[in-house]
Structure 1
Amino acid sequence: MPWTAVCISKDDSLRFEQDGHRCLSYVEALNEAQRQALDSDPEVFLIGEGIDDVGGVFGSTKGLKEAFGDRVMDMPIAENGLTGVVSAAAGVGMKPVLVHMRADFLPMSMDQLTNHAAKWHYMSGGQTSIPLVVRSIIGRGWGSAAQHSQGTHSMFLSTPGLKIALPSTPYDAKGLFLSAMQDPNPVLIFEHRWLYDSVGPVPEEMYAVPLGEAIVRRKGSDVTIVAVSQTVQQAIQAADTLAEKGIEVEVVDPRTIAPLDMKTIMESVSKTGRLVICDVSCKTGGYGAEIVCRLAESDPALLQAPVHRVSFPDLPTPNSPVLEEAYYPGVDDIIAAVEAALS
């Protein structure tokens, strides 16, 4: 069932039930998904730095070491080498999950991911598959500064053979992970740390959210917002505020940026004629530029106004709380972008 409700606050009284449905936090949904994957397939194993610590990677792997023993293992700070190990393990039939606590250090694995894991299926003529899932966490705020606050997902967009997911709800966090576990080749999942405490409906049974299928989170007729990860919640908050002014915004969540569901995006833009793109990364080279280019290639007449992008500035993230506040866009920035698209 494709839940479209936005997550509710963890402190909300509806924490455990919403419209009669079981609710979990985003991090609980991730933990349950991994537990079910480990329990259902003996070839699944988890590896990552600090994965078996008491905190369990912000709670996402908490208790899994105790339940599954050596199938949940810590790794040394040697990202490139360990990515080679798990890629090789996947190549011989195992199903590894590699957990990066910080997306900032995923580039340390880039050689193994882009030159090896992503290409072995093609280079072997389809004889070898690499069922590898890489979980990576996007940092933000709390003074994490330039080396611990980046969204690195767009770095991997130009590598054929990699799928890239950015779940925005607890339902998708579990469903996209379980879908990735069934994919025969590498899938990168980027999770926003600020979503971990958000809560929403999550079925107890195993289910899959298909990779490459966008979802319309909110219907509208005036402006299309395409948003990923944490910006989906911000976009819906902005849309609710704009609705009070008589502006109806449609919010589209691609869920994966590779593959990218242009059909759903184009259907929305063909209705509204205006587009705002929200990302959790710097502006230059983002997934939004690819959307705009594909629209222009397919049917430039769909756009009745210039496209507006809401993203980080093309600058390293500052450490100062005051500068941090100015650096990160929020709901007000999305509202301003929508109003600019209508002006």
Structure 2
Amino acid sequence: MNASTLATEAVTDRSGWQLSALIAETIAWEMRRDPSVLCIGEDIGRAGGVFGATRGLLDEFGAGRIMDAPIAEMAFAGMGVGLAQAGMRPLVELMFVDFLGVCLEQIFNAAAKIPYMSGGRQKMPIVFKTAGGCIGSAAQHSQCLWGLFAHLPGLKVVAPSNPFDYRGLLTSAIRSDDPVIYIEHKGQLLKKLSDFRNNTPIPDRAYTVPFGRAVVLTKGRDVTLATLSSMVEHALEAALVLEQEGISVEVVDLRTVVPLDHDTVARSAARTGRLLVVDEDYLSFGLSAELCMRVIEQIGPGALRQVERLAVPDVPVPAALALERKVVPGVDMIIDRVRTMAKGA
């Protein structure tokens, strides 16, 4: 069932909720539905999570299913892998995506490879839920890294941009039999649902959003702008400004990095003749280059007048907010780049 159909159902007014409260409700629904679902992570129990995304779950489900872990990511990530092999569905909370390096062995050599090495006999229903993105937290707490995890075969990589997708994609991740890296954006978790530009009503029941299915949010004729996570909000704002200048932008929300829906992007780019990929991850060897190349391979270089990328240059994210804004794509950067493309050849 698609978003437009779901939006016709009765809904509770959650507009004043923080996104983190919606995530907590989503996890609770899945834990009630399936007793094999449990959560492990730092500060997820009594503290309710660093962003409040597990608030209230300890009281309802107890310490046997909402497990506070010590600062030992390799240990409790490995515990999650073992639980998944034993038939449970662990959601492993790893505060910030930057910390996944501490337990990378468990992610790319265990979770990602065990299903393949067992010939598909061993399922791996585990979610590594984490938060990325730039909010003025300096080099070690400001990365997205979905390009890194997308490079490792065997992992699904998810990066939602709006409340409807946060719920639907998280539900899909928890129910998946494959390992999923679910990357929230730190800058969105404490926002109210009403503050999102893309604010589809959320029905009063569980639903899933399928992986690998991008969505066209605005129709346009001049430039296709493909992006994900919080950059979608920036892209929508930029598109409104550019529309006043007579520049029509088609915004595509990728939703997931693996699987990557390059078909939707290619169809759009074939119509507009221009493609801009905006990415909060690093520029080199990442999502932006991969998506551009897949589109070129699919529709041929002759179908495109321009293909460009806008991403974080290959430097650590600075601590000072003024410097962070110089390297991380924002609304003004997007407007300037699209304006230049539209006025070009």
TM-score between both structures, scaled by the size of structure 2: 0.91
Deviation at 1:198, TM superposition (A): 4.1
Structure 1 window deviating more from structure 2 (221-230 vs 304-313): it is 304-313
Residue deviations 1:275-294, cap 9 Å, x none? 11111211112211111111
Q: Kindly indicate whether residue 17 of structure 2 is the aligned counterpart of residue 57 of structure 1.
A: no
C-alpha spacing 1:234/1:21, structure 2 compared with 1 (3 Å): farther
Residue deviations 1:137-164, cap 9 Å, x none? 014223x111111111111112221000
Code of the residue aligned with 2:270 in structure 1: it is S
Structure 1 window deviating more from structure 2 (199-208 vs 161-170): it is 199-208
8 Å contact kept, 2:28–2:57: yes
**Regions of 4+ moved over 3 Å:** 1-4, 18-25
1:158 to 139, 151, 173: 151
Consecutive unaligned residues of structure 1, counting only runs of 5 or more, are 5-17
8 Å contact kept, 1:29–1:171: no
Measured in 2, the distance between the counterparts of 1:57 and 1:301 equals: 46
Residue deviations 1:227-259, cap 9 Å, x none? 110000000000011110111110001100100
Q: Look up the match of 2:196.
A: none
8 Å contact kept, 2:133–2:280: no
Q: Look up the match of 1:295.
A: 295
Q: Look up the match of 2:174.
A: 181
1:103 to 86, 97, 115: 97
Helix, strand or coil: the match of 1:307?
Answer: strand
8 Å contact kept, 1:282–1:311: yes
Measured in 2, the distance between the counterparts of 1:19 and 1:236 equals: 27
Q: Kindly indicate whether residue 26 of structure 2 is the aligned counterpart of residue 33 of structure 1.
A: yes
Code of the residue aligned with 1:68 in structure 2: it is F
Correspondence list, 1:1-343, <5 A: 2-3=2-3, 22-24=13-15, 25-70=18-63, 71-142=65-136, 144-196=137-189, 197-199=191-193, 200=199, 201-301=201-301, 303-342=303-342, 343=344
Code of the residue aligned with 1:173 in structure 2: it is Y
Measured in 2, the distance between the counterparts of 1:62 and 1:211 equals: 27
8 Å contact kept, 1:307–1:341: no
8 Å contact kept, 1:164–1:189: yes
Measured in 1, the distance between the counterparts of 2:72 and 2:121 equals: 29
Measured in 2, the distance between the counterparts of 1:221 and 1:55 equals: 46
Measured in 2, the distance between the counterparts of 1:76 and 1:67 equals: 22
Deviation at 1:81, TM superposition (A): 2.2
RMSD: 1.8
Deviation at 1:302, TM superposition (A): 5.4
Consecutive unaligned residues of structure 2, counting only runs of 5 or more, are 194-198
Measured in 2, the distance between the counterparts of 1:49 and 1:30 equals: 17
Measured in 1, the distance between the counterparts of 2:27 and 2:243 equals: 39
8 Å contact kept, 2:274–2:304: yes
Aligned length: 329
Deviation at 1:55, TM superposition (A): 4.8
TM-score between both structures, scaled by the size of structure 1: 0.91
Measured in 1, the distance between the counterparts of 2:103 and 2:244 equals: 46
Measured in 2, the distance between the counterparts of 1:35 and 1:19 equals: 20
